[in-house]
Amino acid sequence: MKFNFEKLQNLGRALMLPIALLPVAGILLRIGQPDLMNLKYIADAGNVVFHNLPLLFALGIAVGLAKDNNGTAALASCVGYLVMTSVITDINKDLDTGVLGGILIGIVTASLYNRYKDIRLPEYLSFFGGKRFVPIATGVVAVILGTILGYIWLPIQNGINILANWTFASGGIGLFIYGIVNRLLLLTGLHHVINNLVWFVFGSYPNSSGAIVHGDIARFMAGDPTAGRFMSGYFPIMMFGLPAACLAMYKNSFSENKKAVAGLLASMALTSFLTGVTEPVEFSFVFLAPALFMIHAVLTGISLAVMYLLHVHMGFTFSAGLIDYILFYKLDTHPLYLIPVGFIFFAIYFIIFDFAIRKYNLKTIGRDVTNQMLNMVRADSRPLQFIDALGGSRNLVVVDACTTRLRLTVLDSGNINKDMLSALGARGVIAPTKETLQVIIGPTADIVAGEIRQAMAANHATHLTEPKNHTTELHDLKIATDIVLDDKTQKLAATIVKYLGGIDNIKSFSVVAITRLRVEVNNSNKIDMAGFVELGDIELIDISGNIKQIYIGNNAQNIFWAFEKF
């Protein structure tokens, strides 16, 4: 059976939707405590979110996996979850599927939605066709699923408890292994899967209203003194270790690049320190120095073990940054221990990264910035340039995002331009399969994904995979004959044609991403590379084989029209 990474990737992305609700719940719960505002109804407002996490996961997973993220999937999943849990409880009141039950019914609902959202029923039942059919089908399937789980969930539940108890009993060793595995799974974005087990499933504790909550986060918020072991060890890494790595990269950047990269590295370090979002930092060195990333994974495991051995229990609702540290400081156990431990990890990271970068001449940020990369991208149109770099609109099947990365389904991941993506700010690119792609951007990933979808919907993007022959561009040709171009533009166009080996060597050309020409030549050996270097701001970018792009800037459309006149 072929492993379907795309489905697992989509699940990892969908898990982030309900997780994104936790910060507001944590804030409400915290500010309602007696030592702050002492308002029970506000604390209860936060508590109710943690109490209903299974339902929220059911809703979020269904919407996240539905093809068009339609709200019908959420309504159907709500119905399915209520029906399923009711059936399970009637069979055995001691069963609790928790968040896993919510995830399961969410997956089932999304599958039903994607399959039956356009179903056509006989005319006398047509009212119940299409999307209206999905909640009905989900309710029926939920009865069947609840019946099955009612008889098989007990051994599964016992197995989860055994695994959780082993993890708790293993102490520092278990946390050390968890830390390493968590960072290694980061490469594929599947760390969300293991995090959901420890943060939302393992362990149980009654909250202030008597309801049983599960997982490290909810138990911590409910006041469980043993909770926080799966979170505490991240604080030294995210607030101290990775910012130290950024400092080491800045220290070793070339002198002529220090000014250019200072802002970027400072932003990455500050993001990690304040919010605990670390992927932009980690993906700046994971492919350059895999051994360095392995050391980082081991240090993460060590940090988790050390904080456990020091009896430090700290929690967060989003990630291990300064904001969560301050917010939940009074709920933490020995939070001040973070300061000396953090500075120790700061020193360790800085020394290791500084040594490795110099010893092995690693091309980290500031040591690989070339003029070509800096000139490739201007602030003309970010979404169009991303579409261009991702192989064109027809190469993009699904565009989505999680916290820090674009999660894409493509026709062929080999069509992308990694250099262009790097120039657009991508810190890493992962292609687990030919059809799946992840682009690590940072906290703006969801915004970029939305911009790309809007640009594609507006049909503004030109794709790379199907070159246009300029002899068939009748509309552009008609416009070109009506345009009067200045001498400077015509001379520049003639020079570019000359350096491309003459008009007879040009097979096709078109404007892409507003600022560039995409050119396919018959023989790339005829291109005068030295000539393009002399043009200064005009950059020749190698895409593949005989396909090139020429960065021109805002004058690209006029150069295109000038080409048409040859």
Distance CA 392, CA 412 (A): 11
Q: Write phi, then psi, for 348 (nearest 5 degrees).
A: -60, -50
Question: Catalytic: which of 402, 514, 538, 541?
Answer: 402
* Placement of tokens 């911590």 in the chain: 220
Q: Under DSSP, is residue 504 helix (H, G, I), strand (E, B) or coil?
A: helix
Residue range 481-538, pLDDT digits in tens: 344 567 788 888 889 999 999 988 888 887 765 677 888 889 988 998 888 888 877 8
Q: Write phi, then psi, for 214 (nearest 5 degrees).
A: -125, 155
Cα 9–chain centre separation = 10
Q: What is the per-residue pLDDT for 460?
A: 42
Q: Are 276 and 234 in contact (CB under 8 A)?
A: yes
The reply to whether 390 and 353 lie within a common domain is no
Handedness of CA 293, 436, 469, 563 (dihedral sign): negative
The reply to whether 288 and 360 lie within a common domain is yes
Distance CA 186, CA 176 (A): 16
The reply to whether 305 and 212 lie within a common domain is yes
Structure token digits, residue 288: 């350059």
Q: What is the per-residue pLDDT for 344?
A: 98
Mark whether 402 is an active-site residue. Answer: yes
Answer whether residue 395 is part of any domain: yes
- Burial grade of 458 (CB within 10 A; 0-12, 13-18, 19 or more): exposed
Mean pLDDT per 10-residue run, the chain (566 residues)? 60 79 88 86 89 92 87 94 96 92 95 92 87 94 96 92 88 94 84 87 87 91 93 97 96 86 89 91 84 93 97 93 94 96 98 93 74 39 81 85 84 85 81 86 84 73 38 35 66 89 86 75 89 82 81 78 76
Answer whether residue 464 is part of any domain: no
Q: Are 431 and 413 in contact (CB under 8 A)?
A: yes
The reply to whether 352 and 403 lie within a common domain is no
Q: Under DSSP, is residue 207 helix (H, G, I), strand (E, B) or coil?
A: coil
The reply to whether 378 and 297 lie within a common domain is no
List Cα–Cα distances, 494 to 489, 516, 540, 552, in angstroms: 9, 16, 15, 14
Cα–Cα–Cα angle for 440, 380, 388, rounded to 5 degrees: 50
List Cα–Cα distances, 279 to 6, 230, 242, 463, in angstroms: 20, 19, 10, 29
Q: Where on the phi/psi map is residue 436: left (φ > 0), alpha (ψ -120 to 50), or beta?
A: beta
The reply to whether 209 and 81 lie within a common domain is no
The reply to whether 19 and 161 lie within a common domain is yes
Structure token digits, residue 381: 């149109």
Among 137, 166, 195, the domain-final residue is: 166
The reply to whether 287 and 158 lie within a common domain is no
Answer whether residue 494 is part of any domain: yes
Distance CA 403, CA 443 (A): 6
3-state secondary structure 421-461: HHHCCCCEEECCCCCEEEEECCCCHHHHHHHHHHHHHCCCC
Total structural domains within the chain: 4
Residue range 532-562, pLDDT digits in tens: 888 877 888 877 778 888 888 767 778 887 8
Comparing CA positions, the residue from 454, 456, 417, 453 lying closest to residue 437 is 417
The reply to whether 312 and 413 lie within a common domain is no
3-state secondary structure 303-325: HHHHHHHCCCECCCCCCCCHHHH
Answer whether residue 309 is part of any domain: yes
Q: What is the per-residue pLDDT for 370?
A: 42
Distance CA 27, CA 536 (A): 53
Among 149, 166, 183, the domain-final residue is: 166
Distance CA 44, CA 378 (A): 49
The strand pairing partners of 79, in sequence order, are none
- Burial grade of 13 (CB within 10 A; 0-12, 13-18, 19 or more): buried
Comparing CA positions, the residue from 229, 320, 316 lying closest to residue 278 is 320
List Cα–Cα distances, 18 to 60, 244, 285, in angstroms: 5, 32, 30
Q: Are 502 and 527 in contact (CB under 8 A)?
A: no
The reply to whether 357 and 376 lie within a common domain is no
Answer whether residue 465 is part of any domain: no
Say how many C-beta atoms besides its own lie within 10 A of residue 21's C-beta. 17
Cα 501–chain centre separation = 42
Q: What is the per-residue pLDDT for 514?
A: 63
CATH number at residue 503: 3.30.1360.60
* pTM score of the predicted model: 0.71
Among 347, 368, 389, the domain-final residue is: 368
Q: What is the per-residue pLDDT for 240?
A: 98
Answer whether residue 482 is part of any domain: yes
The reply to whether 363 and 376 lie within a common domain is no
Answer whether residue 462 is part of any domain: no
The reply to whether 347 and 211 lie within a common domain is yes
For the chain, how long is the longest CA-to-CA vector? 84
Answer whether residue 300 is part of any domain: yes
- The DSSP annotation for 376-416 comes to H--SS-HHHHHHHHTT-GGGEEEEEE-SSEEEEEES-GGG-
Distance CA 70, CA 487 (A): 54
Q: Which residues constitute the domain of residue 527?
A: 470-564
